[in-house]
Amino acid sequence: MRIFSGIQPTGDKHLGNFIGGFRQYAQTQELGEGYFCIVDLHSITVEHDPRDLHDRTLDLFAMLIATGLDPERSTVFAQSHVTAHAEACWLLSAVTSYGQLGRMTQFKDKADRREFVSAGLFTYPVLMAGDILLYQTHRVPIGEDQRQHLELARDIAERFNARFGKTFVVPEGIYPDVGARIMDLQEPMRKMSTTGGTEQGTVKLLDEPDTIRRKFRSAVTDSGREIRRGDDKPGVSNLIDILAVATGRTPGEIEVAYDGSGYGDLKRDVGDAVVALLEPVRGRYLELRADEPELLRLLALGADKARAASTPTLEAMYERMGFVRLGQP
Ligand code: TYM
């Protein structure tokens, strides 16, 4: 079975990315052949600083290894190192509906927040579909916020297969049972995000332990005193989910364990549990990040493996669409 997922290098990585992304990558690489991509081409769809993109690509690569990906076993690589991604995006744009792209909620949210809306922001989901389809992917571990993009990738695969003959596996998403949508600690009605969330309500993976504890201590809770999940209790539900993930218990077990306790106890314990979860990651990350030549060696290894895996699909796409091919280059 092939597994593929991608993560953007820009913006500080946060607890939502850890739970919906990193943690799932390390788990799903055990299911089969894993491809994990730093989607640097996606990061230029909103205004970016070139220096920042460069450094954060290396930061993220170190973080992917620090959180458990094995670059020798799985293929961990940067999207821009494999030109098939940009090519696949163009070819797939022929079978992507303009109307459907305009209905993507992430596009609408991001476009609403800025004056300059790039064409790339609009076509972003086509690039993402290409990422996935190039590898004949069966499963895509992602958080809930990427569901609509994955559904679009499935539609694109089906449309291409119907028009040009079966070329792609139609992929399925894997969403975490708990924590598929981690919310901002200060504004629990919106998702945790370094671009759209609050500073205090976003726990970054490299925050100091004291900062993490403080952010949880000041988390917004709800009216009432019971520690239980519910639509009327978005703040407490979010804390329960985070504690469940960090301690390996179910949310139900946590509700039972905290019956009769106060919000203060819950907030303290979630903070401690998240510090315990992230501290070893931080240590490994700092060590790996210090050895840039080794990171570049491993990135080159990933690029070679990703090129070899994606080339046959790209070739099939060109051929089936009717392009003249010149044989082996
Ligand atoms: P990105 O870089 O925004 O996020 C990486 C992963 O983190 C998950 N995530 C969350 N999960 C739970 N709660 C949250 N608050 C939260 N915020 C983020 C995301 O769902 C994602 O799994 N478009 C993608 C990158 C991408 C991709 C792909 C993913 C490009 N090509 C192909 C899968 C397959 C994105 O911007 O993710």
Cβ of 327: how many Cβ atoms within 10 Å? 4
Q: Which residues have CB under 8 Å from 133's CB, separation 6+?
A: 88, 92, 153, 156, 157, 160, 168, 169, 171, 313
CA angle 2, 5, 6 (to 5 degrees): 150
* Distance in angstroms (rounded) separating the CA atoms of residues 116 and 134: 31
Nearest-CA residue for ligand 1 atom 9 is 17
Please give the C-alpha separations between residue 131 and each of 85, 213, 267, in angstroms, as whole numbers: 6, 37, 39
Q: Where are the domains of the chain?
A: 2-179+292-321, 209-286
**Torsional class of 68: left (φ above 0), alpha (ψ -120 to 50), beta (otherwise):** left
* Distance in angstroms (rounded) separating the CA atoms of residues 131 and 314: 11
* Distance in angstroms (rounded) separating the CA atoms of residues 45 and 27: 29
Question: Contact 55/10 with Cβ under 8 angstroms?
Answer: no
**Tokens standing for residue 45:** 């769809």
136 exposure class (CB count in 10 Å sphere: 0-12, 13-18, 19+): middle
Pairing verdict, β 75-78 and 33-38: parallel
- Say if ligand 1 is within 6 A of residue 309 CB: no
**Tokens standing for residue 173:** 């998403």
Question: Contact 38/298 with Cβ under 8 angstroms?
Answer: no
Architecture of domain 209-286: Orthogonal Bundle (1.10)
* Distance in angstroms (rounded) separating the CA atoms of residues 305 and 83: 13
Backbone angles phi, psi at 75, to 5 degrees: -105, 110
Best CA proximity match to 135, nearest among 182, 214, 79, 175? 79
Please list the pLDDT of the chain residue by residue as tens digits (329 residues).
Answer: 999 999 999 989 999 999 999 999 999 999 999 999 999 999 999 999 999 999 999 999 999 999 999 999 999 999 999 999 999 999 999 999 999 999 999 999 999 988 999 999 999 999 999 999 999 999 999 999 999 999 999 999 999 999 999 999 999 999 999 999 999 999 999 999 988 889 999 999 999 999 999 999 999 998 888 999 999 999 999 999 999 999 999 999 999 999 999 999 999 999 999 999 999 999 999 999 999 999 999 999 999 999 999 999 999 999 999 999 997 65
- Note the pTM of the prediction, 2 decimals: 0.96
Nearest-CA residue for ligand 1 atom 11 is 20
* Distance in angstroms (rounded) separating the CA atoms of residues 27 and 219: 29
Architecture of domain 2-179+292-321: 3-Layer(aba) Sandwich (3.40)
- Residue in 39, 44, 202 to alter for ligand 1 test, most ligand atoms within 8 A of Cβ: 39
- Say if ligand 1 is within 6 A of residue 181 CB: yes
- Say if ligand 1 is within 6 A of residue 5 CB: yes
Residue-level pLDDT at 329: 56
Residue-level pLDDT at 327: 77
